[in-house]
Structures are given as C-alpha cells and as structure tokens.
C-alpha cells in the first residue's frame, strides 16, 4: 500500500537527543581572587610608572616647543622670589633692547660656562670692551680704527637675598634668558626624574611587572589546558532525560 502524501515533501526527521553544537569553546577555569588582585596591582604599577616617565619627558619638551626653557634653582640667593628646588621658566631675548632694570635673568658668569646664575638686573651700562695687553698683561680697552674705545653692553646684577651686587658686570651676550614664571617645587622633581635613580625607579618596576604578568598568563594558559574530570554515569542519564 502506497504511503499517503498531501503533495508536500515530508520534513526531515530530527534527533533531538543529540543536538549538534558548532564551534563550542572550552570553558576557562575562573581565576582565583588572589590572581585577579595581583593582576590589578601589577597593571597599576605599569600605568603609574609609565605615566610618570612620560610626564618627565613631556614637560621639558612642552616648554622647548614654546621656545622656553626650564631652569632648576640650586641656591637661595633670590629668596623669597624663589628658592632652591624651584623651577624657573626662561625666554631667550632677541635684542638687548628687551632688557630692563628689575628683570630677572639667567646668565653665564664671566669666566664660567659650567653653571648658570639667576639674578635681578639693577643697572644697564655701556662699558669699554677689554683685552689683555701683550706687554704688561693688564686688561686694557679695545680701540676701533679711530682710536676710540669699543663700547659694549653690560648688565649689573644682584641676588634679592644678597646685600651687595655681583662683583663683575655681565656682557649682554652671556645672558641665557629672561625669567617668565616660577614653579614652586618643580626643581626637585625634575632633578630626581632626570637622575639615574629616578630613571631606574620609573622604568625597572613596570618592566618587572610586565614580566610577572607574562609569567602569570602562561600559568593561566596551562591551567586552562588541563583535562576536566569526566562526569559520572548519573550525570549522563540526567542529560538524556532532559533531551528526550
């Protein structure tokens, strides 16, 4: 006897007891609480130290881009205007006409190029340019073709905390810049950040933290690859009943 049909194709039979799962991923073992806390602490070290190192590079660079310079104060000769450990912002001068009495400048003292001095201008003077006499060894004025002394621009400076002006007048050509602003306490921080100890403190901990995170990640991978214990027969029977 022929099977009855309504003219439509019968739907294929589906075995609901054995559903097909495509692309099932192996579940990862949950991380212990100590592991999560250690990971957070290590990443905190990386972020904080990395941000501190980036800031130590970015701050001087920002001032350089704006044609300025940071100078670390190492003495108290200008107290109370600023003191040792502060940072002074300098701007280079384009012409000696930019100089005025009362301005604070940084300059190389006569006969020295190893340490800048930051003092206040108390006088502007035109003085003869000097040279050493080949016979007597004494300093004598330089003369031009007309036999007149060659005049040169000088500044007389004084520290606010000093009782007397500086001994030697400073040629304008030895002025490094004019003070624009003062940042209290920046000097100690910048000096430490630029030292070998500061660089080590900002770079070594995050490198160790990243190495530790890599080792922990390897341990997590090995733990996730461990075979899970097989389920017993009772669990299988419960699954079969649920799928029927």
Is residue 240 very low, low, confident or very high in pLDDT (cuts 50, 70, 90)? Answer: low
- Looking at 24-38, 87-101, 136-150, which range is the least confident one? 24-38
Would the pTM of this model clear 0.75, i.e. be above it? no
What per-residue confidence (pLDDT) applies to 97? 87
What per-residue confidence (pLDDT) applies to 156? 95
Residue 75 has pLDDT above 60, yes or no: yes
CA distance 176 to 185: 22
CA distances from 100 to 38, 69, 105, 108, 164 (A): 59, 20, 10, 18, 19
What per-residue confidence (pLDDT) applies to 59? 93
Residue 123 has pLDDT above 80, yes or no: yes
CA distance 107 to 98: 15
Residue 11 has pLDDT above 60, yes or no: no
Average pLDDT over residues 196-203: 95
What per-residue confidence (pLDDT) applies to 135? 82
What per-residue confidence (pLDDT) applies to 98? 87
What per-residue confidence (pLDDT) applies to 1? 47
Report the DSSP beta bridge partners of residue 171: 154
Average pLDDT over residues 127-146: 83
CA distances from 154 to 78, 109, 117, 135, 180 (A): 20, 12, 15, 27, 21
> Which tokens go with 93?
């001068």
CA distances from 153 to 3, 53, 57, 137, 147 (A): 120, 43, 37, 24, 19
What per-residue confidence (pLDDT) applies to 94? 84
What domains can be seen in the chain, in order of their start residue? Answer: 31-66+195-226 (no CATH), 68-183 (2.10.109.10)
218: Cβ contacts below 8 Å, ≥ 6 apart: none
Q: With contact defined as beta carbons under 8 Å apart, do 177 and 105 qualify?
A: yes
40: Cβ contacts below 8 Å, ≥ 6 apart: none
Average pLDDT over residues 215-230: 75
> Which tokens go with 4?
């009855």
What per-residue confidence (pLDDT) applies to 115? 84
Q: With contact defined as beta carbons under 8 Å apart, do 94 and 164 qualify?
A: no
Per-residue pLDDT tens over the stretch 12-69: 555 555 555 555 555 566 778 888 899 999 999 999 999 999 999 999 999 999 999 9
Is residue 157 very low, low, confident or very high in pLDDT (cuts 50, 70, 90)? Answer: very high
Per-residue pLDDT tens over the stretch 200-216: 999 999 999 999 999 99
Q: Residues of the chain with pLDDT > 70: what percent?
A: 80
| DSSP line for the chain | -PPP--SSPPPPP--TTS---SSPPPPPPPPPHHHHHHHHHHHHHHHHHHHHHHHHHHHHHHHHHTTEEEEE--S-TTTTT--TT-EEEEE--SSGGG--TT-EEEEPPTT--SS-EEEEEEEEEEEEPEEE-TTT--EEE-B-TTSPBPEEEEEEEE-TT-SS--SS-EEGGGEEEEEEEEETTHHHHHHHHHSHHHHHHHHHHHHHHHHHHHHHHHHHHHHHHSPPPPP-HHHHHHHHHHH-
Residue 8 has pLDDT above 60, yes or no: no
């Amino acid at each position: 006897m022929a099977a009855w049909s309504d003219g439509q194709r019968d739907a294929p039979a589906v075995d609901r007891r054995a559903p097909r799962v495509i692309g099932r991923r192996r579940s990862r073992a949950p991380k212990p609480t100590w592991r999560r806390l250690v990971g957070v602490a290590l990443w905190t070290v990386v972020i904080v130290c990395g941000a501190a190192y980036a800031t130590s590079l970015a701050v001087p660079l920002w001032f350089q881009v704006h044609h300025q310079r940071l100078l670390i104060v190492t003495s108290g000769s200008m107290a109370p205007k600023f003191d040792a450990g502060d940072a002074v912002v300098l701007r280079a001068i384009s012409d000696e006409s930019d100089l005025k009495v009362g301005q604070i400048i940084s300059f190389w003292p006569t006969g020295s190029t190893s340490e800048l001095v930051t003092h206040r201008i108390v006088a502007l003077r035109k003085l003869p340019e000097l040279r050493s006499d080949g016979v007597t060894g004494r300093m004598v004025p330089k003369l031009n073709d007309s036999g007149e002394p060659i005049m040169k621009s000088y500044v007389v400076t004084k520290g606010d905390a000093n009782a007397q002006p500086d001994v030697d007048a400073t040629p304008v050509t030895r002025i490094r810049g004019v003070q624009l602003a003062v940042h209290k306490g920046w000097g100690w921080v910048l000096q430490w950040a630029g030292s070998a100890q500061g660089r080590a403190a900002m770079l070594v901990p995050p490198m160790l933290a990243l190495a530790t995170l890599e080792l922990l990640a390897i341990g997590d991978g090995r733990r996730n690859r461990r075979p899970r214990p097989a389920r017993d027969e009772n669990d299988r029977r419960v699954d079969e009943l649920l799928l029927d």
